[in-house]
């Protein structure tokens, strides 16, 4: 797959544009959309969060994605190698290193949650959802499921093993093929859930919580959370898109690809909210005081599945299909989290793809052990001893809220000022005729994005209370 000298020709390439777009969308679409987006929305006031989130995606997310893709395609390298090539003998390659580290760190707890989706898949197939019914039962059901540390650990290991297996397969046969099949099916299933959930009696208040913003709800906390969620959901700030861009040829239109990927990602997140909130309201839950938190979808969805007609078949079929697809969506994201480190080890350390995948997968497994025990499995890791929260939440705070935001900021500074918008725009223009859009992009990466992200970082720094603990 990758030639020993690391030359571009031997690194592998996407089969075609659709293959790339689907793989990048596969990276972007995952637990971030279906698990984290609804709980962040719930925790941050509903519709107000949605509005701020959409603005963050359009004004900051898409430009940063384009910056990453252009750095990747120009250099055809992993994030460390890319900065080394564009600015040798500077500190910039360290930014790539931060990306590799962040990828492994996010992978370590992401695959624990992904393990829950497999656990829930097994429960669904056993018919467990057909008997859950009330949200209060679903809550204890969830606590019990995730409180079993050893079971979590097993599923976490299983999920990482699947990830390693696909990454070993390389670009075309592994990553691209997996995404091509899974993404479209997920969309169809999600649409089905949305229609069902809206049709439930009493769903109206959920809809208005989600869609009718109260402007006064927009606080610094909401903006910080929305920006962090946008980077996480779009897989930005850690070089995943640099890596995916590096497998892209110069004929493709980067600008329209970035818009397409961001659009699909946002659509899936939006639909997930549209499936969750009406169902939650219909189950009689109080939306205003909603805490969000790691369990939201794992508590709400079983109540939806158990109210589907024709039990137990309804719960088994719908619940089973949904958690199967959620696991698969998570898989196309864990693949990209691992691929960043693997491409680095293959290009720079000259490891084989097999060795890199296995060793880095193992590192993520070890680092994930405390997270597997952080939701009831052990007093040490579940207790709020970790920056005032449990171990897994602390990892998410450090590596999502801080690391991705800092990473995205530095990538903007790099593309806008160091590498420079002239060189960056030249790369974007290859494959894209629309000069005025490219010009608009250069203004955004150079001025608006760094400024907006700097404000977010300043708020986090001066008012640490904006991050909920």
Q: Are 56 and 47 a contacting pair, CB within 8 Å?
A: no
C-alpha to C-alpha distances, 373 to 269, 289, 297, 377, nearest whole angstrom: 28, 27, 20, 4
The closest alpha carbon to 274, from 190, 187, 188, belongs to: 190
Answer yes or no whether residue 270 interacts with ligand PHE by CB under 6 A: no
Query: What helix, strand, coil percent values describe the chain, rounded to 5?
Result: 80, 0, 20
Q: For residues 30 and 34, give the distance between their C-alpha atoms in angstroms, rounded to a whole number.
A: 7
Query: Which two structure tokens, joined as six digits, stand for 30?
Result: 């995952």
Give phi and psi for 53, each to the nearest 5: -60, -45
Answer yes or no whether residue 25 interacts with ligand PHE by CB under 6 A: no
Q: Which stretch binds ligand PHE (CB under 6 A): 43-51, 59-67, 112-120, 329-337?
A: 329-337
Query: Which two structure tokens, joined as six digits, stand for 166?
Result: 């696909």
Q: Are 39 and 292 a contacting pair, CB within 8 Å?
A: yes
Answer yes or no whether residue 233 interacts with ligand PHE by CB under 6 A: yes
Q: Which stretch binds ligand PHE (CB under 6 A): 3-11, 47-55, 227-235, 434-442?
A: 227-235
Sign of CA dihedral 44, 48, 54, 59: negative
Quote the least distance from Cβ 392 to ligand PHE, whole Å.
15
Q: Which stretch binds ligand PHE (CB under 6 A): 157-165, 332-340, 375-383, 451-459?
A: 332-340
The closest alpha carbon to 339, from 258, 243, 196, 460, belongs to: 243
Q: Of all residues in this chain, which one has the CB nearest to ligand PHE in the complex? A: 32
Quote the least distance from Cβ 65 to ligand PHE, whole Å.
11
Answer yes or no whether residue 230 interacts with ligand PHE by CB under 6 A: no
Q: For residues 49 and 226, give the distance between their C-alpha atoms in angstroms, rounded to a whole number.
A: 7
Q: For residues 95 and 71, give the distance between their C-alpha atoms in angstroms, rounded to a whole number.
A: 13
Quote the least distance from Cβ 56 to ligand PHE, whole Å.
14
Quote the least distance from Cβ 103 to ligand PHE, whole Å.
6
- The nearer residue to ligand PHE, 27 or 266, going by C-beta atoms, is 27
- The nearer residue to ligand PHE, 342 or 438, going by C-beta atoms, is 342
Q: Which stretch binds ligand PHE (CB under 6 A): 18-26, 228-236, 250-258, 309-317?
A: 228-236
Residues 6+ apart with CB under 8 A from 436: none
Answer yes or no whether residue 428 interacts with ligand PHE by CB under 6 A: no
Quote the least distance from Cβ 334 to ligand PHE, whole Å.
8
Figure out which of the listed residues 14, 129, 232, 280 binds ligand PHE, where binding follows CB under 6 A: 232
Quote the least distance from Cβ 233 to ligand PHE, whole Å.
4
- The nearer residue to ligand PHE, 2 or 23, going by C-beta atoms, is 23
Answer yes or no whether residue 415 interacts with ligand PHE by CB under 6 A: no
Query: Which two structure tokens, joined as six digits, stand for 148?
Result: 């079993």
Figure out which of the listed residues 153, 200, 240, 301 binds ligand PHE, where binding follows CB under 6 A: 240
The closest alpha carbon to 367, from 388, 344, 341, belongs to: 341
Figure out which of the listed residues 104, 168, 261, 337 binds ligand PHE, where binding follows CB under 6 A: 337
Within 10 Å of residue 4's Cβ, how many Cβ atoms? 8
- The nearer residue to ligand PHE, 240 or 283, going by C-beta atoms, is 240
Answer yes or no whether residue 30 interacts with ligand PHE by CB under 6 A: yes
Answer yes or no whether residue 242 interacts with ligand PHE by CB under 6 A: no
- The nearer residue to ligand PHE, 238 or 281, going by C-beta atoms, is 238
Q: Are 67 and 234 a contacting pair, CB within 8 Å?
A: no
Write down the H helix ranges in 246-295. 254-282
Q: For residues 418 and 321, give the distance between their C-alpha atoms in angstroms, rounded to a whole number.
A: 47
Binding footprint of ligand PHE, residue count (CB under 6 A): 15
Q: Which stretch binds ligand PHE (CB under 6 A): 53-61, 88-96, 231-239, 365-373?
A: 231-239
Figure out which of the listed residues 2, 31, 71, 86 binds ligand PHE, where binding follows CB under 6 A: 31
- The nearer residue to ligand PHE, 337 or 449, going by C-beta atoms, is 337
- The nearer residue to ligand PHE, 261 or 282, going by C-beta atoms, is 261
Within 10 Å of residue 79's Cβ, how many Cβ atoms? 33
Q: For residues 8 and 455, give the distance between their C-alpha atoms in angstroms, rounded to a whole number.
A: 38
Sites for ligand PHE among residues 83-142 (CB under 6 A): 106
Quote the least distance from Cβ 405 to ligand PHE, whole Å.
12
Provide the CB-side half-sphere exposure for 106 (13 A, CA). Answer: 35
DSSP 287: S
Q: Which stretch binds ligand PHE (CB under 6 A): 22-30, 200-208, 311-319, 434-442?
A: 22-30
Q: Are 166 and 335 a contacting pair, CB within 8 Å?
A: yes
Q: For residues 133 and 391, give the distance between their C-alpha atoms in angstroms, rounded to a whole number.
A: 31
- The nearer residue to ligand PHE, 392 or 432, going by C-beta atoms, is 392
Q: Residues interacting with ligand PHE, by CB under 6 A?
A: 27-28, 30-33, 106, 232-233, 235, 238, 240, 333, 336-337
């Amino acid at each position: 797959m990758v030639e020993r000298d690391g030359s571009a020709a031997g690194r592998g390439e996407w089969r075609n544009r659709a293959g790339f777009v689907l793989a990048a969308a596969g990276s972007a679409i995952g637990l971030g959309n279906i698990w984290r987006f609804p709980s962040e929305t719930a925790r941050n006031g509903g519709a107000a969060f949605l509005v701020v989130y959409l603005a963050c995606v359009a004004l900051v997310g898409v430009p940063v994605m384009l910056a990453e893709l252009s750095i990747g395609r120009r250099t055809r390298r992993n994030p460390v190698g890319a900065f080394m090539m564009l600015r040798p003998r500077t500190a910039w390659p360290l930014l790539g290193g931060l990306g590799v580290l962040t990828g492994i760190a996010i992978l370590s707890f992401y695959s624990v949650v992904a393990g829950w989706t497999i656990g829930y898949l097994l429960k669904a197939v056993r018919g467990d959802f057909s008997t859950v019914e009330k949200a209060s039962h679903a809550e204890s059901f969830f606590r019990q499921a995730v409180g079993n540390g050893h079971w979590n650990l097993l599923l976490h290991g299983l999920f990482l093993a699947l990830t390693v297996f696909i990454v070993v397969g390389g670009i075309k046969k592994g990553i691209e093929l997996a995404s091509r099949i899974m993404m479209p099916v997920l969309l169809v299933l999600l649409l089905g859930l949305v229609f069902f959930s809206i049709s439930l009696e009493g769903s109206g208040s959920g809809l208005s919580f989600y869609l009718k913003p109260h402007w006064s709800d927009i606080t610094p906390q909401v903006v910080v959370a929305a920006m962090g969620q946008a980077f996480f959901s779009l897989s930005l700030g850690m070089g995943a898109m640099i890596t995916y861009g590096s497998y892209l040829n110069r004929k493709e239109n980067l600008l329209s690809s970035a818009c397409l990927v961001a659009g699909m990602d946002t659509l899936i997140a939006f639909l997930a909210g549209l499936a969750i909130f009406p169902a939650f309201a219909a189950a009689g839950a109080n939306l205003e005081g909603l805490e969000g938190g790691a369990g939201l979808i794992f508590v709400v969805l079983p109540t939806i599945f158990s109210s589907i007609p024709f039990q137990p078949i309804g719960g088994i079929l719908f619940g089973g299909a949904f958690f199967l697809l959620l696991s698969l969506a998570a898989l196309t994201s864990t693949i990209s989290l691992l691929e960043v480190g693997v491409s680095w080890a293959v290009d720079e350390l000259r490891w084989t793809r097999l060795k890199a995948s296995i060793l880095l997968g193992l590192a993520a497994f070890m680092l994930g052990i405390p997270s597997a025990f952080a939701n009831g499995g052990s007093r040490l890791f579940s207790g709020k001893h970790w920056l005032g929260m449990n171990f897994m939440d602390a990892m998410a705070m450090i590596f999502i809220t801080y690391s991705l935001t800092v990473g995205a900021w530095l990538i903007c500074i790099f593309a806008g000022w160091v590498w420079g918008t002239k060189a960056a725009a030249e790369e974007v223009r290859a494959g894209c005729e629309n000069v005025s859009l490219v010009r608009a992009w250069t203004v955004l990466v150079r001025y608006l994005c760094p400024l907006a992200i700097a404000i977010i970082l300043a708020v986090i720094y001066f008012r640490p209370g904006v991050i909920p603990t």
